[in-house]
A = this chain, B = another copy of it.
Amino acid sequence: MMPIRHNTIDTKPEDVPDLPSEKAQLDWVDKVILQSLIRDARLPRAELARRVGMSPPAVGERLRRLEETGVILGYHAQINPARLGFGLTIMIRAQPDTGQMADMIAAIEATPQIVRCERISDKNSLVAWAHVRSVAEMEQLTDRLMPHGKVDVSIVQSTPVEPRPLPLEKD
């Protein structure tokens, strides 16, 4: 199982070194680089260098540090599931039975159509998103989760706000 990334800042004593959940000190240059790569991850370093008025090697060094300190987690192509034959997107709300949380998460992880899953505070449940090819595939998928708890499925009708970048303060 993959390590689970937590979504809040964990409290910690002052003397331990940087944790990935710590707030990073970013200057204006870092923020321009980040915003640019959030919008277009394939931008050349040379272009980033022009935007911030620095040399390409300097930008390369900044990038390396942003990646190593966990500010940048990766670069991903965003694809259109419908164009790959996955015509149906669903949201799954799963409430594991007592003692079934780990098994439910394992089952979710083992289901390749599920492309992300978050654990939320409300009723200690999980919310997962999946792309499937048909209603039959949707049914098959939920059948695999149901042994571990209550499972609810909703159809995603549209995406009023596509994944978009966080606002970064000017500085």
Contact A167 B22, beta carbon cutoff 8 Å: no
A5-B159, A7-B157, A114-B161 known; A75 vs B75 contact (CB < 8 Å)? yes
Question: Can you sample 11 A-B contacts with CB below 8 Å?
Answer: A8-B155, A26-B84, A38-B77, A41-B77, A73-B80, A75-B77, A91-B118, A108-B161, A114-B161, A119-B160, A128-B161
Q: How many copies make up the complex?
A: 2
Q: Which B residue's beta carbon lies closest to that of A114? A: B161
User: A121 at interface (Cβ–Cβ under 8 A)?
Assistant: yes
The smallest beta-carbon distance between A15 and chain B, in angstroms, is 20
Neighbour of A160 across the interface among B83, B84, B109, CB < 8 A: B109
- Distance in angstroms between the alpha carbons of A97 and B58 in the assembled complex: 52
A136 within 8 A of B: no
Query: A8-B89, A86-B166 in contact; A120/B80 too (CB < 8 A)?
Result: no
A166 to chain B, nearest CB (A): 6
Q: Which residue from chain B places its CB closest to the CB of A42 in the assembled complex?
A: B75
How many A residues touch the partner, as a band? 35 or more
Where the two chains meet, the residues of A that have a C-beta atom closer than 8 Å to any C-beta of B are 2, 4-9, 20-24, 26, 34, 37-42, 69-89, 91, 105, 108-109, 112-122, 126-128, 131, 152, 154-168
Question: What is the bound-complex CA distance between A90 and B58, given in angstroms?
Answer: 36
Please tell me if the beta carbons of A157 and B121 are within 8 angstroms of each other in the complex.
Answer: yes
In order of increasing CB-CB distance, the 9 nearest A-B pairs are A37-B77, A9-B87, A117-B161, A41-B75, A122-B154, A120-B154, A7-B89, A121-B155, A112-B167
